[in-house]
Chains A and B, each alone.
Chain A
Amino acid sequence: MPETAPLVCLAGVTKDYPKVSTGGDRLRTLAGLLFRRKELPHFRALEDVSLEVLRGQSVGVIGENGAGKSTLLKIIAGVVRPTRGSVRVDGRVGALLELGSGFHPEYTGRENIHLSSALMGLSRGDTQANLQRIVEFADIGAHIDEPVKHYSSGMVVRLGFAVATVMNPELLITDEVLAVGDESFQKKCVAWLERYLADGGTLLLCSHSMFHIQTLCRRTVWIHQGRVRMEGPSFDVTREYLTHHQERTAAERKAAQAHAASVGVMRLEDAWLERPDGMRESTYRRGETLVLQATAFEPDDRPPVLLFGVVRVDGTAVYGSHSNENGFVPARLQRTRFAWAVSFDHLSLLPGKYIMRVHVLDPEGLRLYDTVEREFVVTGDTRDYGVVELAHRWLPGKDAEGEPRAAAASHL
């Protein structure tokens, strides 16, 4: 089987959902469906989406709520027929659009495995043979013999995903299924998905977790208002997506700030990044000095606590600290206004895009009042890996045999 054969091919897919709020609409729609008339009252969920997924690829699908991600996955899974456009899927599809949707609440978990696996296309023999593995993967202990109605939502998801692990689809479609499980189960699922991909499986993953998208998917499609807004390497697309959200949040923030000023709530007035000479800047060479400046309003004229955190653009936390660590007192510009500066000398971050998060807390450092984010880029050439350069020295090594074990132990 050639690695490059397209497994999924969507061309100009448009999906209209009929508007059926009134009885008349319903009758009109019925007639339209039977006699294949077009132009019915509708709203457009997807418009002219073309997508190709090659065998062995892992593709992420991101977008806001209601952007059309689920509709797209449903079309590929064969649950929904597109209004226009063509869909071709050359392989067995395993779709996890909602885990546990085939479960009967009165049945025990074990009994539900049967129907659920039948829905996924497993034969009776396959289910029997793999029952033990499903139960082990779900790992919900004695609950497996209790009715599903007593399950928590996380347990339902565990069981649902467990059933999926024994089938071996050529294309696996998952819609936000990792979100409900707890940390350890998520890890288990991600590990399973990674192995599935390593074995040559093809994955379509819809998630709001940029972390999952970046770890599991090489390519990502960003669906925005029913259309493909961007498609490309996961890292680029997720970064653009996050930037888009930041801009939106910033606009909303301005409105909120105006409101906060009028009612006298503590807030960050401004925060910016600058060079030691006072030039505002968002790009720094590695090793340069970056200064964070922040001003805040505190209606009771007591000095608030400032907290900063540096995160990489994908959400990886790098470092954070706060101003009441060593009893630091900010400058009081005038009544109710305070200012801080934090200098990061010899910036040791590796090249990449970062976010400086600034928070203001009440003077006791208990309640968080406001948050501002500033993005910055660190440039430079490096062959190092990771996020930050750790101070280190290279020394000539020695043979492990050369050192007596007793001596090594005595150091401890």
Chain B
Amino acid sequence: MAHVAVPGAGPARWSWLLLSFTRRELATRYVGSAWGFAWSLLHPLAQLAIFAFVFSQIFRVAVPEGYGGASYVAFVAVALWPWIMFSEGLSRAMGSIGANAGLIRKVAFPHRLLVYSALLACCAIHLVGYVAVLLVLKATGTPISLLGLPVALVLLIPYMLLAAGLGAFLAALQTLLRDVEHVVQVVLMVLFYASPILYPASLIPRAFDAWVRYNPLAWYSERMREILLKGSGLVMGDLWWAAACVAVFAAGLWFFNRLSPSFEDFL
């Protein structure tokens, strides 16, 4: 028989579709541009250059003791890429349903794959950039702990699950309420400056202690520095945060799956 059998709705079928979505997501960023992939890597580099110039040359912020004598560039870079993965991944995951409205209206498939693929593509691009920057920093004399690199990558998993959970929640909400997108952009900008990414958590006034303690962005930024610059291993707090992230992911996905059959009504 010339025909092929179509596998059932098993995980094998969807994993291939997820891979295809992710590939397409990646390709949309470089198709038609001469430098292609390089732009995705250059963007965070430019951000880093601006922050480095403004804060170390103009405001002359000094990196506090205890970060192994890392330069301000290294200090920011270590926390900047995880933040970009989180914020860009969140935004793209949120927009993935609207961006694929045509598909959702015409083809039956699990819509969450779109959220995952948006996030996966984002992580793939920025992980390449992150590792490259860390290696360059290491080569130029910053004491990056190479042993810490796999630990940092493990730590990124719950962080990205948090982004996926929030992204799924917001994507579903965004489908019904178009205002969500605008609110999220503002919130992300506030979060960026309100979290210890450009500065150490120790500089935050005591009055905002709770904010630092219960802000996952603060936690993961600080932890990335501790692991990569100080050579710290995993601690108990990582487990709690991982549990919290998984819980957010599950809740976000529950909300998404609850509304997902109705997406077609609103797109």
Contacts and interface: CB of A to CB of B under 8 A. Distances in A.
Given A33-B262, A79-B106, A97-B106, A167 B6 contact: yes
Contacts, number: 108
Contact of B17 (A80, A119, A168): A119
A81 B176 contact: no
A133 B179 CA distance: 46
Nearest to B104: A79
Nearest to B108: A78
Given A81-B262, A102-B103, A121 B176 contact: no
A124 B23 CA distance: 13
A81 B108 CA distance: 11
Interface in A352-411: none
Interface stretch (B27-35, B42-50, B82-90): B27-35
Contacts of B1: 168
Interface residues of A, number: 44
A34 interface: yes
Interface in B80-106: 102-106
A95 B107 contact: yes
B2 A29 contact: no
Contacts of A110: none
Interface in B15-63: 16-17, 19-21, 23-24, 27-28, 31-32
Contacts of A17: 265
A74 interface: yes
A94 B5 CA distance: 12
Contact of A18 (B20, B108, B266): B266
A101 B103 contact: yes
A292 B6 CA distance: 58
A118 interface: yes
B13 interface: yes
Contacts of B177: 23, 26-27, 30
**Shortest beta-carbon contacts, A-B, top 7:** A168-B3, A78-B108, A81-B261, A118-B20, A106-B31, A101-B106, A126-B4
Interface of B: 1-9, 12-13, 16-17, 19-21, 23-24, 27-28, 31-32, 102-109, 173, 176-177, 179, 255, 258-259, 261-262, 264-266
Interface of A: 17-18, 20, 23, 26-27, 29-30, 33-34, 74, 77-81, 92-95, 97-98, 101-102, 104, 106-107, 114-115, 118-124, 126, 129-130, 133, 166-169
